[in-house]
Each structure stands twice: as C-alpha cells, then as structure tokens.
Structure 1
Amino acid sequence: MKSLKIGNTFIFMIILAIFITAISMNALIVSASPENDSVGLYLEKYRPQFHFSPERNWMNDPNGLVFYNGKYHMFYQYNPYGNKWGNMSWGHAISKDLVHWEHLPVALRPDKLGMIFSGSAVVDKHNTSGLFKEKPGGLVAIYTSAGETQQQSLAYSTDDGVTWTKYEGNPVIPNPGIEDFRDPKVIWYEKEKKWVMLLAAGDHVRLYSSKNLIDWEYMSKFDEGAHGGVWECPELFELPVNGDPNNTKWVLQVDLNPGAVAGGSGGQYFIGEFDGKTFINDNPPDEIRWVDYGKDFYATQTWFNTNNRKIWIGWMNNWEYAEFIPTHPWRGAMSLPRELTLKTIPGEGIKLIQDPVIELQAIRQRPNEWKDQRIIPGQNILSDMNSNTIEIRAEFEIGSATEFGFKVRKGKSEETIIGYNTDRNQLFVDRTNSGEDQFHEQFAGKHTAPLHPVDNRIKLHIFVDHSSVEVFGNTGERVITDRIFPEPSSKGVELYVENGDVQLLSLTVNELDSIWQK
C-alpha cells in the first residue's frame, strides 16, 4: 500500500504538472490570441487601417451614436458569435477624436422580445424620462426589439454607456400591424421642448412625439422619393444654409434596400421644413437626391449632442453581397466620419455637402506636393509612390483631355480607377479590375456621379485604405464610397490622363498612419 500511495502521489504530481503547464500555455495562447491582441489582429489581409471595424465577427448598421462626457460612443449591429448576420446585439466602441477607437463589451443583447435591431441614443440631461433616480440624467437608447413582430424599446445607462438597464415597460411603441417597423431615430425638438422619433415603416417614415421618451404619440408620415425597396434608418436634422445661422433648412434622410443609385442598398435625402409635426419637402416629390453614388455607404446615422457640428457615419457594405465579402475573422467596416453642411450650388439649388472630419488630419504623414504642372498621356509623376493607405487632395483645371484622375492600388494585374469624364461631367470609381470580386456577381462595376466644374476646375479628395476608397468631389458635393479587395502587394499610384492634357493646379498626397498600430 505504501508503494501504491507513492505511485499515486507520483502520478498525481505528473498530472498536476501537466495541468499547470496547460494552464500556463493556455494563458500564453489567450494573451497572444487575436481576440486579446488587437495589434496582431489588425494585420489580416483586407483589414482597414484607418476605418473602424470590429475585432472579429459580423457588424452592420451604426447605432446609438452619441457624444457624452468627452467621448464619442458608437454602438453597432453586431453578432457576437459569428461573421454572418444573426444574434443581433449592440456592439460598443468609444473615441475621443472620431479616429482612434477603443472596444468595449457588448452593450445590448437579445431578450424575450427578440433581437436588438438598430436604433439611436440621446442624452436625457433633464431626466424627462424619470429613469434616473440618483442622477439628474443620463443616456437613453431607443431600439427595435425584433421578435415575432418589430417593436420599439428603451434602455438606459447611469455609467456613461458601459452598462445598460432595459426599461421594464418595453415595448414603448408596440407594432401597429406593419411588417417592417424599425430603426427609431430620436431627436430633441427645442422649440416645443419635446422628443421626436422617426421610424421606418415599410415604404414610408412615421413621425412620433413624446415629452418623456416613454409615451409616444403618432404625428405624421413622409413617403416621397425613391421606393425601389424597403425604407430603413431614417434621419432628421437642421443645418444653416451657406453658414448663415439665420437661414436654416431641415434634412430628412432615409435608406432603401434595394433600389439605390448604384444598385442594392443606399440612401436618399430631402431638404425642406419641419414644424415639429410634419416634414415638408422643398423639392418635387419624385426628385431623388442620393447621399452617396457608390455601392458601399448605408445605414447612415448622425451623432447626438455634438453642438454646432453635424457628423455622421455609415456602414461600408451593400446588402447584395454583405455576407460574402472575403474578410476574416471580421466582416463589416464603417466609413470615415463626415461633417455635414448645406450649400447653394449654382443651377442645382441647396445641396447636402459631406466632408471627412478634420480630426483625420492627425494621422497624416509627411506630405508629398506638386503644383502647376501640365499632365499629358504617358507620364506618371507618382511613379515613385507605393502605398495602400493614402489621402489625395488634388485640383485640376480642365484642358483638352476627355478623362483624367488616379489609378490606385495598382499591381501587376489590378487597379482601381478614380476619374473624371469631361464629356459627361461625371465623376466615377471603376472597380471592374480592382482585385478579388468573384464572391458575388454584383460586386464588380463602375459607379458614377454627376459633377460639374466650378470655374472650369475639378477638386478631388480621396481616401484609399486596404479595402476601400472614398471619393469626395468638389469639396464634398458628390461622394462615391466603394469597397475593394486588391492584393496587399498592389500599392502603386498613377496620375493619368486620356486624349489630351489637363493642368494640375495642386496635388498633395499623404500616407496615413494606422489607427490600430502603435
């Protein structure tokens, strides 16, 4: 028995040693795994380097955008368990500058009412809801509970959005018998000291009002514009025209899927008046104004509580192929944040202008600059440049050329063309040869936007990341956003011209730092 005890002890010690070693090894594996090491994780093929993307798994619509106590909060549709749509929850990230993001734990998860679909968040600073017992106010999230039907629910946070308590009286707006009844966007209407909610309801937007965020009264509906698909993710905000605070207009934006200008999902906007109850469009009901002429800008939402700035961001994807894009272990990315203004364009009236936020200048590396050069076919003043994360700012005076622009992410057999056609007055992005595109038949293509010269000049502002291009024409009059999937080795850049010449007035190219790598 003694020898048996010694043997058992020996065996036990061996097992214990193996167990301790396994724990130690597991700790090493966990600490070095992509899930716990964002620096290592953010080096995969196609991973955006200055656009937000989740560490892993599926992401779509931005949700609950709010600025609070010095931080920008971005919640988003998220599947914690895989990289395809499902188990919809609210992921969460915060930023102090709209550029560098910190991941936080999942904020809202499914419950007995269903999955957590899209919605918005507000600062209830005067505790109109009565939900804050020990503080004067806090954050309230308004979202769609998606179970057997789609209904609107509330949650509130007393710790700056880190944890949330769902309102025990949910839903606050039961489904009225509409199949697609979702995506609440709530704003504060100062003139009447009340909350206003917009809801996408099939083929129109419904407007509600409330004094306390809990009891809601239906007011009106809006149903003009494009109806090629189901409406989603409405927005409503007021902006000065041409910077004049005494002359303001309201913008109503709504997405649709399918039926957008480039095919599949996209957004449209309307400019008009809002009296606290009804939105009145200034333009003909069938006049379509597209938010973005590319294929990959959807589910747009503005940040609440940003004072005089109006900033929004969109999901860089398209429902036609969203679940098939070739990324792993994540799927989904956000656009750059864009600041919004209204400007009168000669011959076109008042237009919505989108500019990348000024905070992005912080990730610029040393500039490369050119001025006053005549560009002819066959030359490339950018032949020495190789990068897959660049910002391009250029101004051209139109000459005899029928087309000019940039070829980016150039490799041996692939390139993305960002150009301007002078015969058609047309800005375009051509991704027919941009890289991997066999994952879906609707991906490859050329996307165009009308853009007229100003004083015979065209301005282009371009952002190129590992798997996207965003093109702002004439200081944000027209925007084209497209995903691309070139080989990492395709880093060439070319300034090209066809059938004549063009005068390059100025060109600045900056490589951009990664927001994930130290």
Structure 2
Amino acid sequence: MRSRSFPIDGGSIEFFYRGCDCEIILKDSKSSETLTVERGSSSSYMRVLWNLKSLSSKSVFVEVVDRGSDLDLKSFVVIPENTYEGELLFLEYSSQGIFVFGESELGELYESDSLRPRYHFTPVSGWLNDPNGLAHWQGYYHMFYQYNPFKPVWGTMHWGHAISKDLVHWKHMPIFLHRDDVECDEDESGAFSGSAYPDGNRLAVMYTKHWDPRFHRDKIAQSQYVVVTHDGINHEPVGSHAVIEPGEESLPNDFRDPKIFKEEDGLWGAVVGGSLDNKGRVILYRSKDLKNWSFSSVLYTCDENWARMVECPELLKLDGKHVLLISLVHYVEEIATYHAFHMVGRITDDTFEPDIVEKSDFGDDFYAAQTFIDDSGRRILIAWTKAYSDHDRTINRKWAGIQTIPRQLSLNEKGRLRMEPVPEIAALRTAVTPDIELRETTLGDAQLTAKLPSDSFEMEMSCSIDHPEDAIEIIIGSEDKKGEYISIGLNSERRLFIEVSVKEASDCSYHETLPLSDDVRSIDLRIFFDRSIVEVFADDYTISGTRKFRFGNMKRHLAVLGHPGVFIESLSVWEMSSIWKKGRQQSDWHQRV
C-alpha cells in the first residue's frame, strides 16, 4: 500500500508504530528508490524520527508493508525545514489506504465533522486536555497541551504544541515532549502538565514526569523536571534528574502540575499541586538557577470536605492583588468530581489568605486553566473543556478535546475576577453588520424567533428587567423543547443557567450559579456558540459558563422568551468563520472522511 506523492524540503518525518512484522518506507517518486526505511516488530508504540535534511526539493511517497496484518501507525507528520513558516503534512494509515492532507486542508476536513468546532482549538487527531506552557515568546503565542497521539482517550501523555500570531488562528507544531520508552502501551507513564516562562532568548519549561506505579515501583511516581528551549522545538534538560521531588509535604502519587514564575527579586518560583491527609494543597518552591530548588511553604491547604487533591495551581498578581487558580479533585463515594476555582487575596509569610473565593465557571466543563502575560502586558487565560463521560462519538471521529477561547483577566472595583474574551476574537465575525439585529423590544406573551446564520456564531444581548422575579430565556435549537436544544438565561430565582437537552441522557444537565442580587436590574449576555461547545459571559464578565454537548441534528433556530417586564435594549448575532485554512490542492481529505 502506498500514499500519493508529496514534496519535501528537508526537515523531518515523525511517526509512531506498532506491529509484529512491518516496513514503513520512504521512496523517491521518480525512481521509486528507497530513501529511508523502518523495519521492525513492536508490541508497543515506537517513535521514529527520519532526518530529511539531505533530501531537499524531492517528491516522495510512503509505502507500507504489513506482513503481520496488525500494523498501527499513528501521528505521522511531515515537518518542514522552516517549521514556523512551512506547512505540516499529516498521513493517516488505515485498511482503506494512506491519506495525505496538509494544514491548508484542515478547514475543509473539520467542516465535514458536525461536532468539530470552527473557532475553538482542537487537535488534528488523538486526545487533548490541559493547556501547558502558555507563553508569548519570540513573536508567537505558544500553546503546549497534554496530548495522547495514539488514541482519542486519556492515556500516555505527551506535550502537543501550537503557535499563533493573533491568539485566534493557530498552527500545529511537532510534539514537544515525549514519553520515555515503555514496554507496553498499558503503561501510562508520560509527560504530565506543566508550564513555561520566557527568559530572554530561551523558554524555561517545568513539567511533571509521571511513572505509572503499576509498572515502575522502583521510581518516584511524580517529580518535577525542567528543560529549556531556544526554538520551541528542540530542548535540553536542566540537570540529569528531577529538580523537585516530593518530600513530607505531599504524597508522591499526587504531586504534579508545576506553574513556574519569576519573583520581583529575580528568584525563580513554582507552585505545585499536592495532597496530604486527604486535603489538597498548593506547595511553593524557590530556586536561584532552575536546577537547585528548595521547599518554601505550603501556600494553601483545602478543607478535606472541599478537595482531596489540587491540580494545575497558579499564583499570579493582578491589579495589585494576589490571585490563586486551582482545579480541585473531590470524591463523593469514591467517584471523582472536578471543578475549577479562583481566589483573590494576599500572601502573609508565604501563606495565601483568600478574601474572595469563587467557582471559576458555572458550566462544569471548564478545568485546568492556565495564564500567561503577553508582550502588551495582558494576563490571558485558556482552559480545557472537560471530556465526556463516554467517548464513543469522538473515538469514531479520531479526536477528542477542546480548549476555551482566550480570556483576558482583570479585577473589577469590588475585587472580583473578570474573564473577558480577547478582542482579537471579533476578527472572526464574517461581517461588520450583524446577521441578526434587534433594538428596543419589550418581551410579552409571544416569543421572538429568528433563523440562525450558522451553528457557529457570537451573540450579544443587553436587557433590563422591572421586577426581581422576571426571567429571560434564550433557546438555541428546538424552540418548543421537543427536540434537541440549548437553553441559556436568568430564571425567576435570579440564577443564570445553561440547560442542555440532546438525545443521549448523559448529555442532559442543568447548571446554576449563585443568585444575582435583587438590585441588579440589567443583564448583559455574551454567548459564543460553536457547533459542540458554548461559552457564556455575564455580569461584566465576572460570571462565565462553559458547556460541551453533542447534537445529533440541531435546528438553526433562535427563540427569546421572557416575562412582560423584560425589555431588550439590543440583540446582535454574528456568524463566525473558521480559524483553519480551507483548500483541496492535492489533498486526500475527502477520501479520509
């Protein structure tokens, strides 16, 4: 079996394979001469990297010989010499053939998948979760992320990587951190979450190396490592072993997700999530040189009724206040639940003392948030939208995982955290003039209805209410609620909500925030709807709700209902364009789908 021909300009090819008797061969298109070959037998995924620097300006193809009829070929990527400016090519192998498609075809490929968002970041294939190593460095926004290249389910973790010039349009990059060699794919050892910090011409990266205790009882389960990179592609370790190992301050199996930073005196700092005595905790460490770290304090400890483990902690300063971001793992009858919180407060003697504690998102699909400071001084956050309880839909589609749109952070006059979508996202509106626009309308017994321009759109609505018990509801989909729909609004108890109703019962949910105070008589909503995800912002961006869903066949219909005391000052809807390029030149995308 062979692929179509494609050009190479030097660079490299990376892929993973397993199989009992196989050959993966790169051949010259003109002469069919073998240029390089991988022959082998492996029961676990083996990483292969072909250096193609001597093969510039050639047309080649890939041939596969699978004598054992069990070859599994994953994450096959052709990497150009100029990785930042050139286009990656992706090869997918199956019993139907070897399909080749480039980054310029991703928009067309994604369009064919009704669950694939158009303007939220997703992986080409495989599993994505926590954003890692967010940074604005050397003119690019960098988003690393937890990545399983083998299957669209959580498993052995690597670090995926993408870059952007504008925080909106992303370009895929080669895998940055790989797992260590393991003997079987049931071994879930890998490169867990971490962070990055720009330090001149280098990027310092700290991450958790995880050794699966089922297979590596002689190793510490979780320790922190540091690497530095000068190009975002290659990296070198700082020291030959872990720079931070768990001491008496945490259990070794729950010691992960370091967030690295620099203090005003030039010292390096890092907070790490931990657990002890069934209480989640945030642990602070310091270093002068990135290599030698010392324990400073337990910065914060959760009540055991709140969380048994802290993941993805981050300590930051915002508008003169300290802010602590935490993602919490709590167990109810040994069933894990996951929620993200933020706290605004102060630090006294290396102990964080909160004044405000709030759930970061009322939709329950927001987790593992991380921030960075860009070159203009903005503090920007991206989070992962948690996985479904089952993966049948996305397994069939070969991908899983969605990141939120970037949000700019600030504190309001009361010290509450604001998360406002970055203004760059407005560039995705397909027109300056809204597709739907409504002004100064009083809601009564009849509902307002309109046909939506797309299943990817942005909506802004401002309204006032006469009485505290007045309610308003926005329905997307089936306006009579007899089919699939998303419902967003403010109920008579003054609680914002997102209600999801689809065919699968597991996707039906109802989420609420704490009630708004009675003196709030105006509501501003901003909604980003993108095929299988919705992000809702309200109360001057101090409230947000994120929810994923899986419509079978959603109607493109909008309905607005409310009590007679609700007055709509303005309502605008814009169709949103894809962040991925569209094209079909020499692409196998249509065969792949």
TM-score, normalization: structure 2? 0.73
Query: 1:282 aligns to what SS in structure 2?
Result: strand
Which is richer in strand?
A: 2
User: What is aligned with 1:121?
Assistant: 196
- In the alignment, the residues of structure 1 paired with residue 267 and residue 399 of structure 2 have an alpha-carbon distance, to the nearest angstrom, of 40
User: What is aligned with 2:257?
Assistant: 183
Give the one of 316, 319, 340 matched to 1:237.
316
Which is richer in helix?
A: 1
Tell me: CA distance 1:227–1:379, structure 2 relative to 1, closer, same or farther (3 Å).
Answer: closer
Q: Given the alignment of the two structures, is residue 82 of structure 1 paired with residue 185 of structure 2, yes or no?
A: no
User: What is aligned with 2:461?
Assistant: 394
CA contact 1:410–1:490 (8 Å) conserved in 2? yes
Mapping of residues 212-251 of structure 1, within 5 Å: 212-221=289-298, 222-224=300-302, 227-240=306-319, 248-251=320-323
Residue 275 of structure 1 deviates from its aligned partner by 5.8
Query: 1:500 aligns to what SS in structure 2?
Result: coil
Q: Report which stretch shifted further, 89-98 or 399-408.
A: 399-408
Mapping of residues 339-418 of structure 1, within 5 Å: 339-345=408-414, 350-366=415-431, 367=434, 368-380=436-448, 382-399=449-466, 402-410=470-478, 413-418=483-488
User: What is aligned with 1:129?
Assistant: none
- In the alignment, the residues of structure 1 paired with residue 284 and residue 379 of structure 2 have an alpha-carbon distance, to the nearest angstrom, of 21
User: What is aligned with 1:209?
Assistant: 286
Query: 1:42 aligns to what SS in structure 2?
Result: helix
Q: Report which stretch shifted further, 107-116 or 204-213.
A: 107-116
Mapping of residues 287-366 of structure 1, within 5 Å: 288-318=357-387, 321=389, 323=391, 326=394, 328-345=397-414, 350-366=415-431
CA contact 1:58–1:332 (8 Å) conserved in 2? yes
User: What is aligned with 2:75?
Assistant: none
Q: Given the alignment of the two structures, is residue 194 of structure 1 paired with residue 267 of structure 2, yes or no?
A: yes
Residue 72 of structure 1 deviates from its aligned partner by 0.5
Give the one of 129, 152, 168 matched to 2:224.
152
Residue 74 of structure 1 deviates from its aligned partner by 0.4
User: What is aligned with 1:252?
Assistant: 324
User: What is aligned with 2:590?
Assistant: none
Q: What amino acid maps onto 1:428 in structure 2?
A: F
Q: Report which stretch shifted further, 250-259 or 463-472.
A: 250-259
Q: Report which stretch shifted further, 209-218 or 167-176.
A: 167-176
- In the alignment, the residues of structure 1 paired with residue 258 and residue 344 of structure 2 have an alpha-carbon distance, to the nearest angstrom, of 20
Question: Alpha-carbon deviations, 1:27-78, whole Å to 9, x = none?
Answer: 9965645899423331212001110000011111000101101111000000
- In the alignment, the residues of structure 2 paired with residue 333 and residue 398 of structure 1 have an alpha-carbon distance, to the nearest angstrom, of 35
- In the alignment, the residues of structure 1 paired with residue 389 and residue 98 of structure 2 have an alpha-carbon distance, to the nearest angstrom, of 33
Tell me: CA distance 1:116–1:429, structure 2 relative to 1, closer, same or farther (3 Å).
Answer: same
Residue 86 of structure 1 deviates from its aligned partner by 1.2
Give the one of 117, 122, 143 matched to 1:48.
117
In the alignment, structure 1 segments of 5+ residues that lack a partner are: 1-15, 126-136, 241-247
- In the alignment, the residues of structure 1 paired with residue 438 and residue 322 of structure 2 have an alpha-carbon distance, to the nearest angstrom, of 40
- In the alignment, the residues of structure 2 paired with residue 282 and residue 23 of structure 1 have an alpha-carbon distance, to the nearest angstrom, of 62
- In the alignment, the residues of structure 1 paired with residue 154 and residue 203 of structure 2 have an alpha-carbon distance, to the nearest angstrom, of 27
Q: Report which stretch shifted further, 393-402 or 143-152.
A: 393-402
Tell me: CA distance 1:324–1:141, structure 2 relative to 1, closer, same or farther (3 Å).
Answer: farther
Q: Given the alignment of the two structures, is residue 282 of structure 1 paired with residue 360 of structure 2, yes or no?
A: no
Query: 2:359 aligns to what SS in structure 1?
Result: coil
Question: Alpha-carbon deviations, 1:208-246, whole Å to 9, x = none?
Answer: 111111111111111146623421000111111xxxxxx
Question: Alpha-carbon deviations, 1:106-165, whole Å to 9, x = none?
Answer: 00001269410000011122xxxxxxxxxxx40111000001410000111122x12222
User: What is aligned with 2:573?
Assistant: 509
In the alignment, structure 2 segments of 5+ residues that lack a partner are: 1-28, 34-59, 65-90, 183-188, 214-220, 583-593
User: What is aligned with 2:24?
Assistant: none
Tell me: CA distance 1:323–1:452, structure 2 relative to 1, closer, same or farther (3 Å).
Answer: farther
- In the alignment, the residues of structure 2 paired with residue 477 and residue 292 of structure 1 have an alpha-carbon distance, to the nearest angstrom, of 9
User: What is aligned with 2:234?
Assistant: 163
Residue 387 of structure 1 deviates from its aligned partner by 2.1
Query: 1:362 aligns to what SS in structure 2?
Result: helix
User: What is aligned with 2:337?
Assistant: 264
User: What is aligned with 1:10?
Assistant: none
Q: What amino acid maps onto 1:210 in structure 2?
A: S
Q: Report which stretch shifted further, 293-302 or 412-421.
A: 412-421
Tell me: CA distance 1:410–1:452, structure 2 relative to 1, closer, same or farther (3 Å).
Answer: farther
User: What is aligned with 1:134?
Assistant: none
- In the alignment, the residues of structure 1 paired with residue 557 and residue 207 of structure 2 have an alpha-carbon distance, to the nearest angstrom, of 44
TM-score, normalization: structure 1? 0.83
Aligned Cα root-mean-square deviation (Å): 2.9
CA contact 1:403–1:420 (8 Å) conserved in 2? yes
CA contact 2:345–2:355 (8 Å) conserved in 1? yes
- In the alignment, the residues of structure 1 paired with residue 581 and residue 478 of structure 2 have an alpha-carbon distance, to the nearest angstrom, of 24
Percent of matched pairs sharing the same residue = 32
- In the alignment, the residues of structure 1 paired with residue 520 and residue 341 of structure 2 have an alpha-carbon distance, to the nearest angstrom, of 28
Question: Alpha-carbon deviations, 1:357-389, whole Å to 9, x = none?
Answer: 111010012313221111123232x42334211
